[in-house]
């Protein structure tokens, strides 16, 4: 007999997925401990679980998966073959339809880009306090992407307005925003994406207390800090309109002691990672307003799952002894804020616990 954890490890299905398929009657454990409720699976169920994992990865609907599993061990496999071929045809038709839609979208993008200049001609110069810019970069750097397929996210957005600079980073699963005040900028608003290696080089010059000078000429950005300078090319534009990604106010605002909460995350319960996935911490706000970690088997409807490592990174970037977590629903991003600085925060996308 295999425990649910062993079955998850050997089959490629996560523990939460196995629970879901049990409740759906698709893959029911051979035995459930009547006292603890713990699930145990027979040796013959491993092949079924691996088959289920393959069908799941192929995107087959649950109703068809149920029929395939029911017919797999039978002597007449005609229905199984028909279901597989039917699903493959649906996938091929869906891919064909998607190609048509994407072709139309590319044409729209081409027309849109032809109306915009491909070369930046704006010249902007401004001053910003070195400690403010350093703190802003430290608050967002962890969220920058390292995905080579999305190079425009492999940097930090400098969103410059007459009196303030917002720096923003995102890898699609998390987003961080911080603000620094500026002086000496009387030009128009401008946005540039500074590659992360150049961002890191800038950060290395921000050890002093005085102001530094930031200049943008076309697609080149320069930081002068006293007698030291770093400069380089900006990335091509394409950074998302981050303000549209910010969560609306609402849900629970729960203050957390960062040291205690970090210890609870590092030593508390986690959901086992699915194949190649990250460990998840499952959170909910208790009746007294505190954030608690849900133990395995807690099926509270308001629980929110999040990548544990991402949450730990966000706590570090928050750089405060106390932070505020904003949690709403299982599908709403989690916000991590500094109590006294509304303009500096990060958000994390939640992770679905069930198919």
What are the pLDDT digits (tens) for 172-203? 999 999 999 999 987 778 899 999 999 999 99
Q: pLDDT over 70 for what percent of the chain?
A: 93
What is the average per-residue pLDDT within 117-122?
A: 53
Question: Is there a domain that residue 113 lies in?
Answer: no
| Final residue belonging to a domain, choices 32, 61, 85 | 85
Average pLDDT value over all residues in the chain: 88
Question: Is there a domain that residue 97 lies in?
Answer: no
Domain of residue 259, CATH code: 3.10.150.10
What is the average per-residue pLDDT within 79-108?
A: 90
Question: Is there a domain that residue 115 lies in?
Answer: no
More confident residue, 144 or 20: 144
pLDDT at 88: 94
Verify that 229 and 258 share a domain, yes or no. Answer: no
Residue 55, pLDDT > 90, answer yes
Backbone angles phi, psi at 48, to 5 degrees: -65, -40
pLDDT at 314: 96
Question: Is there a domain that residue 207 lies in?
Answer: yes
What is the average per-residue pLDDT within 157-172?
A: 93
- What band does 119 get if pLDDT is binned at 50, 70 and 90? very low
Verify that 253 and 324 share a domain, yes or no. Answer: yes
Residue 276, pLDDT > 60, answer no
Verify that 230 and 177 share a domain, yes or no. Answer: yes
Question: Is there a domain that residue 256 lies in?
Answer: yes
More confident residue, 271 or 282: 282
What is the average per-residue pLDDT within 258-282?
A: 82
Q: Total domain count for the chain? A: 3
Verify that 306 and 339 share a domain, yes or no. Answer: yes
Q: Which domain holds residue 338?
A: 247-348
Question: Is there a domain that residue 353 lies in?
Answer: no
Verify that 230 and 258 share a domain, yes or no. Answer: no
Verify that 274 and 333 share a domain, yes or no. Answer: yes
What SS3 string covers the chain? CEEHHHHHHHHCCCHHHHHHHHHCCCCCCCEECCCCCCEEECCCHHHHHHHHHHHHHCCCCHHHHHHHHHHHCCCCCHHHHHHHHHHHHHHHHHHHHHHHHHHHHHHHHHHHHHCCCCCCCCEEEEEEEHHHHHHHHHHHHHHCCCCCCCHHHCEEEEEECCCEEEEEEECCCEEEEEEEEEECCCCCCEEEEEEHHHHHHHHHCCCCCCEEEEEEECCEEEEEECCEEEEEECECCCCCCHHHHCCCCCCEEEEEEHHHHHHHHHHCCCECCCCCCCCEEEEEECCCCCEEECCCCCCCCCCEEEEHHHHHHHHHHHCCCEEEEEECCCCCCEEEEECCEEEEEEEECCCCCCC
Residue 220, pLDDT > 60, answer yes
pLDDT at 332: 87
What is the average per-residue pLDDT within 101-113?
A: 80
Verify that 186 and 261 share a domain, yes or no. Answer: no
pLDDT at 317: 95
What is the average per-residue pLDDT within 1-30?
A: 89
The residue among 130, 242, 237, 143 whose CA lies nearest residue 190 is: 237
Residue 139, pLDDT > 50, answer yes
pTM of the predicted model as reported, rounded to 2 decimal places: 0.71
Verify that 230 and 341 share a domain, yes or no. Answer: no
CA distance 175 to 333: 10
Residue 265, pLDDT > 90, answer yes
Verify that 238 and 251 share a domain, yes or no. Answer: no
What are the pLDDT digits (tens) for 56-79? 999 999 889 989 988 887 777 888
Residue 152, pLDDT > 90, answer no
Question: Are 336 and 348 a contacting pair, CB within 8 Å?
Answer: yes
Verify that 139 and 223 share a domain, yes or no. Answer: yes
Domain of residue 74, CATH code: 1.10.1660.10
* Matching residue, tokens 């192929």: 58
- What band does 355 get if pLDDT is binned at 50, 70 and 90? very low
Verify that 202 and 295 share a domain, yes or no. Answer: no
Residue 248, pLDDT > 70, answer no
Question: Is there a domain that residue 104 lies in?
Answer: no
What is the average per-residue pLDDT within 232-239?
A: 86
| Final residue belonging to a domain, choices 226, 243, 260 | 243
What SS3 string covers 42-69? CCCHHHHHHHHHHHHHCCCCHHHHHHHH
pLDDT at 192: 92
What are the pLDDT digits (tens) for 291-344? 989 886 677 778 899 999 999 999 999 999 999 999 888 888 999 999 888 889
Query: Residue 252: which residues within 8 A CB-CB, separation 6 or more?
Result: 285, 289, 326, 327, 328
| Final residue belonging to a domain, choices 243, 272, 294 | 243
Question: Is there a domain that residue 317 lies in?
Answer: yes
Verify that 236 and 258 share a domain, yes or no. Answer: no
What is the average per-residue pLDDT within 243-270?
A: 87
């Amino acid at each position: 007999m295999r425990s649910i954890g062993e079955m998850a490890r050997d089959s490629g299905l996560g523990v939460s997925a196995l629970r879901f398929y049990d409740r759906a009657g698709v893959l029911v454990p051979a035995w459930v401990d009547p006292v603890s409720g713990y699930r145990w699976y027979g040796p013959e169920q491993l092949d079924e679980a691996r088959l289920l994992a393959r069908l799941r990865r192929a995107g087959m609907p649950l109703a068809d998966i149920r029929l395939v599993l029911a017919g797999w061990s039978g002597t007449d496999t005609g229905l199984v073959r028909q279901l597989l071929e039917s699903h493959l045809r649906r996938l091929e038709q869906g891919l064909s339809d998607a190609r048509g839609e994407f072709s139309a979208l590319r044409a729209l993008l081409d027309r849109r880009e032809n109306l915009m200049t491909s070369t930046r001609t704006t010249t902007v110069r401004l001053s910003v306090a070195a400690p403010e810019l350093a703190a802003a970069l430290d608050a967002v750097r962890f969220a920058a992407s390292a995905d080579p397929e999305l190079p425009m996210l492999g940097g930090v957005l400098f969103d410059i307005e007459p009196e303030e600079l917002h720096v923003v980073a995102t890898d699609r699963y998390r987003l961080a925003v911080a603000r620094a005040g500026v002086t000496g900028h009387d030009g128009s608003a401008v946005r540039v994406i500074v590659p992360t290696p150049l961002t890191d080089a800038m950060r290395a010059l921000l050890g002093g207390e005085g102001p530094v000078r930031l200049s943008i000429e076309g697609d080149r950005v320069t930081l002068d800090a006293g007698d030291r300078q770093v400069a380089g090319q900006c990335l091509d534009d394409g950074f998302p309109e981050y303000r549209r990604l910010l969560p609306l106010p609402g849900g629970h605002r729960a203050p957390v002691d960062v040291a205690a909460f970090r210890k609870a995350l590092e030593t508390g319960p986690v959901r086992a990672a699915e194949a190649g996935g990250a460990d998840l911490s499952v959170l909910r706000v208790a009746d007294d307003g505190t954030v608690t970690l849900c133990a395995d088997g807690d099926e509270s409807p308001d629980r929110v799952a999040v990548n544990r490592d991402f949450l730990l990174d966000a706590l570090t970037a928050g750089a405060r002894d106390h932070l505020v977590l904003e949690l709403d629903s299982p599908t709403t991003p989690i916000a991590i804020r500094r109590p006294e600085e509304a303009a500096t925060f990060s958000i994390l996308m939640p992770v679905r616990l069930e198919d």
